[in-house]
Homo-oligomer: A and B are copies of this chain.
């Protein structure tokens, strides 16, 4: 098993990501701070910090917001923690400390921490695990506590959450007088594992295992719980056990079902625990769920959760592009899961999927100005239909600002600011590079600086400065789309034969490293046509365009009206261009030869003449940048001449 990478081990220095990290630290975090403090005009009211103040007895007033409003503060604090590592900021840290002081004061005598129930319904604590997110909010605050401790060395929030964890442990579990409860929204399992990683306290890991293993043992748990109370919160149906993955034990589950964020958060904790305990049975369950998700339920953008109904996975191969859900949070959770799987086994599939989600369906969630966000990440939008017509109401074609249910924006913050952690792993004899992200990283055996022209060009240079004399391995993930024949690897300028060194998506370079060695990875980055499994009904006859890790899309602003009538030629002819202005500046754009169909039937809805075709050049832009140039049509999957 790999060690956890510490926050301070890696600093991202990347042409692509540093800009995004700066956007998050300079724009998004301050913006969200204003929102949480109700100082931003024209967005949904948050009241999240005031809720803590009121619960702490520091202010008068009523609770406002969702029952899980606390988690917005937690996720922001977690993002701030990472941000302080990227860019130390004493003022920000002081403000975060002040908020932590308020959070601490909102904690109750017995360790309980939740502003909704403390302010509004203290008599209802822990009675509605199905709907009320107390464990979910606890989990997020545990993550924040662990991150803040890692980032700053300050343990105030950590102690608060240790007390909350102890409170939870005293209340739930198998022992006498304990409730055999499970969370309605998984997340506390991740939080407990993170608390375990920073404190080493085995009871936190044990509690995480309890929650994971208890789940699905009694599929009637939520029904029984509901019978015991005479109130409800959202009107959730306790019998819909698939929604929250309590329909079967984690060992029995082999299909990704239900609410996609709940699912991947659960899988993330499962994978972490499986790695920590070397639990092959649990790991095998993770592998089954991974394979099901990746082989049958994932959009090409790394989006998961195909349906708005329950924000859920749909049936296998059901991946509609226009009624899609693909919540930003779900793709982020997919990366969490992948990274935890990498702890146990270094297989290229995990790094490939991290890359797919990171360069596409995650960052599509944020406007390029950092001020507006998508919950839903469609692969096709059609103004006049998307966001408007029945069945499409959720597929809004332009990013709005803050949301009443504000889970995605802060999740993006913590993802982008902690990116360095996802790029690397380290164990006894090996340093693993999972992502081609420019960074400065410090490991036990070496310091490594990566220069990367990714995702626009195929050149990545690892500057290795060994700190020891013995051999060690630098294992570099080579994305699966890179054809072996197109890959050139050089060490200190001399080409290395890679055939034998490649295993399961990683290039293993085992040698005695010097203090200034240089590994160069070079590869062609052709424009690629990608086909979906023909079982995906929606994509048959269509093709998606990728270059490197980037999925491309076609927008109306570049391609005119009715882009559904555009076909890409059978023989791909594509030219690259570099964006020169606006949001596209510096991005690689594509010009692709195709045809436009023109309907021959006039005003008639149906006619017998085949549509006329005329040659056109289609402009493709990176998917993640769509929707930044006003309301217009967009498609990822384009019809192909056949």
Contacts and interface: CB of A to CB of B under 8 A. Distances in A.
A473 interface: no
A605 B390 contact: no
Given A528-B608, A531-B609, A540-B565, A295 B603 contact: yes
Contacts of A481: 608
A262 to B, nearest CB: 16
Q: Could you tell me the dominant secondary structure of chain A's interface residues?
A: loop
A541 B567 contact: yes
A296 B384 CA distance: 14
A607 interface: yes
Q: How many copies does the complex hold?
A: 2
Interface in A309-326: 309-310, 312, 314-316, 318, 322-323
B389 A642 contact: no
Contacts of A532: 605-606
Contacts of A307: 389-391
B598 A315 contact: no
- Count class of interface residues, chain A: 35 or more
A395 to B, nearest CB: 12
Interface string A524-539: 0000111111111100
Contact of A315 (B322, B388, B604, B639): B388
A392 to B, nearest CB: 8
Contacts of A544: 606
A88 interface: no
A118 interface: no
Interface in A616-642: 639, 641-642
A82 B607 CA distance: 36
A136 B532 CA distance: 49
A533 B315 contact: no
A601 B531 contact: yes
A296 B291 CA distance: 42
Given A390-B312, A567-B642, A531 B607 contact: yes
Interface in A111-153: none
Contacts of A536: 605
A240 to B, nearest CB: 12
Nearest to A595: B642
A144 B202 CA distance: 78
A290 to B, nearest CB: 12
A295 B316 CA distance: 35
A278 interface: no
B534 A564 contact: yes
5 contacts: A312-B390, A315-B384, A318-B385, A529-B610, A534-B597
Given A541-B639, A641-B642, 5 more contacts: A307-B389, A308-B391, A318-B389, A535-B562, A535-B599
